[in-house]
Structure 1
């Protein structure tokens, strides 16, 4: 009687079923990613069900993002679509590092600030900029010193980078030049790269003179674009740093300086309870050198903690996966 299709079971037998066993009776074959939140953004269609993929990255376990693809596959368009959605749907600040001058028309259309940085430009950002919230401990200069060491590593170059003595004298000079600013934190007292150069020349060690000589072209020479006070509106809700015209010699330095500017913005927004979205094109360039890769990883980890939502955009998957730091950034294995 129990085996007949009468829906009448005379056999009193019960047993527990595991999730996988129960799933056999569920008539669905696809897994959906759809968050019906006010700030959820469109990320495409589910390949099996053709349903929308709507996600609020701030509510995911890890908000970091990566856009990978071959040339011409639509990486930049995908990033622009997400930027436009984020600007219109959320109240988040959006900052873009643009090595190929692709995002300027979109930013200008939305009334954002395009900062064009080149050796002949009249727009400047100061790599020595710092604020009182720059770090979550009592010594913001320590994290700034890490950035300046990365910058000097790029400038000095060489296979082995900075030597221990060189790092020591740079760190000593950094604390010295920021002392005046923190005693009276007004814009006029913000240090410049020239202040670091002069402080290095005043040291007795020959290693300090070596680093100062390498810095000279960036202070008094033809590449002095980063030896000026910031004179642009970096407080706009949508900011694009156009570094296309920096050339091969300065591009990596420019990307590192922009990343530090973004970190300063993230720290200010954290105090205001606001999120910051950062889009970095050609991010693999910063993962090639050990020092810049280490600083990039440190900043990306802090972004997650401080309300930042960074997105890397790259076609050079080989360089990206070759970096041992990629696991630390995205929480994924190679």
Structure 2
């Protein structure tokens, strides 16, 4: 993946996304012993970085493909991202969601004129339902994390961060489906020098950590984590990028995630979702490793049910 391609992607999606701010906090610097730069994708359109990948994926389709619409399966942020990106581009969006998806997320999809098709709450049911729509409508399938165009769109988060702060020593990102960290790794590889990429992952769903050790894509038996956005596993498009360019993955416990989330809410006065707190929790857990370093932290999103906070 070369610089030119990523720069072209960045220019292509520019009109459809926000360039999000990078915030700092002296108090959190003092607490961590590092110089922290928080890239705030919680301020992105629809509230998460997913808007970038969705916009790039739809913009990459031909006019003929766009006329037939797009389909994805997602219970959360990608569902809203595809709906909004499609709405802005005048494309029909079919969104397969499990019946038990949070109502707030269904409402979000409807706000952006996405058409919801409900299915049972299993990966098999999601895939089968999406495939049925593909066959019936001729719609193009968009994958939340395991598709090149989505990964390249996601890479623009770290590209912007590095434009603002080119001398970072480390960039930390959460790891769930792998689409964000793969994009981050591509950006750092192409646009930074001597900068590491480190993933934060919940101990309860540590499939990426195990995949890095075994050399093949591992899955999870349980999904018992507050970080609901990280319950998915890696894919064949993003895993090779992660293997090649991600230095390590740090696992964190549930109480560490909640504590990190609460710190950001209280100290920075911003709303982030639990998945988003995982890389900051990883840094706090391994302070020695990051001591006196300049660290970029990607705050991936802020779509949280405020009536149901973990603290």
* TM-score when normalising by structure 1: 0.28
Larger Rg: 1
More helix by share: 2
